[in-house]
Structure 1
């Protein structure tokens, strides 16, 4: 079985795209974005901020787009017929790449102090944005608040990526590459994928579990479910038939994904063992509670004045990922597990890979600030078994959506190799 592909770029043919370019060294990549959009059959019009013109000339983007480049809100000729309103109505989508921290902040606050921000306020078209900035600026709490608000307001974030930066720093904040931006835009317009009868069935667990202590209290953890949901969305976008076994989270079900809600580890275990034999790939991403109360109280536990301590008796929960990996041949899927660690990441992950009989494991350092539980970003170490031992891949800090794409691609590739006997 070969890995499935993303939606074809044919979904872009005939689309009218407004490309916004703001200041930053990544502005030079906007020329390639315009070229690729044109090659995909789009009509492209470019709007540049004043600062963007210090990095790339309007003439360059005009030559590539075949259309005049707009740079000013107060252009007498263009505004004779309320040109900015017509341009806002013209666009099927607005794509901003690169988007600086300053532009993001102005968009969040609804400012309309230049042509690009005015167009964004005046347009009802879908909006996609590719941030680009220094890693410290990206990590700053103000920027993180702003990008969360953009997402709430309906913007689709593309990236940013992590790596070497023009200033010499290393970290998250690099603008996504033009081909990744093109793929994100094409996915936006692509019709939902209906899995074929031969599409692999992927089962994914996500989120925390809750183990009741009494009718109002429970044991749980800080898992937001974002990583598991990103994996489910990516697998569905790849054309797989996806079932998501979800603990209690406040997240919408990804498009094309069947969702099964559970509360406790025992419920998740039952659902996993029921679905896993039907699956080609099982990804255990849930943060399952290791223990539960031996006997949950029937009524609320009361605090008394003479009681300074409370003793709870806990019993071990079933090991979901190990039990799935132990299924007999013919029922056992390709099994990917997760390891959330705070120290000796690779050693503990290698041990879990071997001890639980997994095919692949994704190890996260949850002690890193801004990564893992509750965050939109994550980093990981991927380990997988080979005929002569194991192999590894280091994934630097990046949005969970991008990390999910990497994990799903690797899992499907190794599933394909395993199925073919390679």
Structure 2
């Protein structure tokens, strides 16, 4: 990538448009050529003249500057309305025309009311954009324009510019770049006979989001997939591990990875004996003896290297569950425990969202309810922090 990049900056109509001024300033200070494309809605908050002045350029006389080649298209803020237009391929203003004509990386920074962000239509639109390899930064949780506190706040300008520079190849690589990362995902199924099993409701969405996030940060990712209910991400090695024994074997074979994230719901018990065929139905009770499976997290912790980062997920219920998860740090010799409350029906199993508490020896941090890819980014940020500690 050349030292000077041509960046088209779309600004859509929302109160966060004022933050785009700082985005322009930081990009120009970095020596880049910035073409602002404010929508009419954005100009209700900040005039186009302000953006062009900060970009140190005149308003173009050419009526089609937005259709010229650009190294990056950045939209900050991105409203729910414009996100819907991008997802459905509409081109009814210069910004959406630019998006359809653009052939390079596209980075968007959503900003909206939390109820709008959480609406299923908005979620579906952003999933469509993500499937088209659109990079999404934020939103974050915080105080919103209307005085409420929740998800929907635009990412800070410095963070947006940092991600933009990374896409342009100018940023130092992620701590995960070049690292070997193993992620477990899904729920194991322990056979009772040839067709029946003891299992759980895990779809694997959380683990898949973690694997995809680590891949995008430059890691070489292996996904140990236990009966996924969602597609595995592209660009990762997928190893099928349908039972707890399969997952244990494949995880221990990769126990020297730099990072191991144990997001799968591994059965704590399995039938002592499984029938070869299908047991015929009868009026008689079926008594099944269950025996413990190997604790994979404990086994990996016992065999760990000091330079590794081990992450365990813990599904429990309520405050008492969090207390038990704190004890996992020492009991299983892991660096980070991700606690999610399975007593709630709006997060976790069978949900696109999650809310977790990150428990490490440095303290605890709540990641409020958000789509699982956003929660995955928070977990990976903590993994990178722990890796940086290892290097020091």
Q: Secondary structure at the match of 1:90?
A: coil
Q: Flag the 1:121–1:246 CA change in 2: closer, same or farther, 3 A.
A: same
What is the aligned partner in structure 1 of residue 127 from structure 2? Answer: 148
What is the aligned partner in structure 2 of residue 265 from structure 1? Answer: 244
Q: Flag the 1:12–1:19 CA change in 2: closer, same or farther, 3 A.
A: farther
Instruction: Please state if 1:321 is matched with 2:297.
Output: yes
Shift of 1:36: 2.0
Instruction: Choose from 310, 318, 336 the match for 1:343.
Output: 318
Residues 48 and 69, structure 1, Cα contact 8 Å, conserved in 2:
no
Deviations 1:258-301 (A, max 9, x none): 5433222111111222322x245433222212233434443445
What is the aligned partner in structure 2 of residue 53 from structure 1? Answer: 43
What is the aligned partner in structure 2 of residue 21 from structure 1? Answer: 11
Residues 130 and 181, structure 1, Cα contact 8 Å, conserved in 2:
yes
Deviations 1:324-350 (A, max 9, x none): 2233x7689543211122322422322
Shift of 1:30: 0.7
Instruction: Please state if 1:392 is matched with 2:371.
Output: no
Residues 232 and 238, structure 2, Cα contact 8 Å, conserved in 1:
no
Q: Distance in 1 between matches of 2:142 and 2:284?
A: 51
What is the aligned partner in structure 2 of residue 168 from structure 1? Answer: 147
Q: Distance in 2 between matches of 1:192 and 1:300?
A: 58
Q: Flag the 1:51–1:12 CA change in 2: closer, same or farther, 3 A.
A: farther
TM-score norm. by structure 1 comes to: 0.78
Q: Secondary structure at the match of 1:363?
A: strand
Instruction: Please state if 1:282 is matched with 2:272.
Output: no
Instruction: Choose from 64, 67, 70 the match for 2:54.
Output: 64
Q: Flag the 1:307–1:169 CA change in 2: closer, same or farther, 3 A.
A: farther
Q: Flag the 1:301–1:127 CA change in 2: closer, same or farther, 3 A.
A: farther
Residues 12 and 42, structure 1, Cα contact 8 Å, conserved in 2:
no
Q: Distance in 1 between matches of 2:146 and 2:70?
A: 34
Q: Secondary structure at the match of 1:113?
A: coil
Structure 2 unaligned runs (5+)?
none
Deviations 1:208-238 (A, max 9, x none): 3233344455444343434334444555566
Q: Secondary structure at the match of 1:107?
A: helix
Q: Flag the 1:62–1:171 CA change in 2: closer, same or farther, 3 A.
A: same
Q: Flag the 1:191–1:16 CA change in 2: closer, same or farther, 3 A.
A: closer
Q: Distance in 1 between matches of 2:127 and 2:305?
A: 44
Shift of 1:186: 3.0
**Which deviates the most, 308-317 or 37-46?**
308-317
The count of aligned residue pairs is 389
Instruction: Choose from 339, 343, 346 the match for 1:363.
Output: 339
Instruction: Choose from 261, 265, 270 the match for 1:292.
Output: 270
RMSD: 3.5
Highest RCO, 1 vs 2 (Cα 8 Å, sep ≥ 6): 1
Shift of 1:308: 9.4
Q: Which runs of 4+ in 1 moved over 6 A?
A: 191-196
TM-score norm. by structure 2 comes to: 0.83
Deviations 1:13-53 (A, max 9, x none): 33322111111111111111112222333321111111111
**Which deviates the most, 166-175 or 229-238?**
229-238
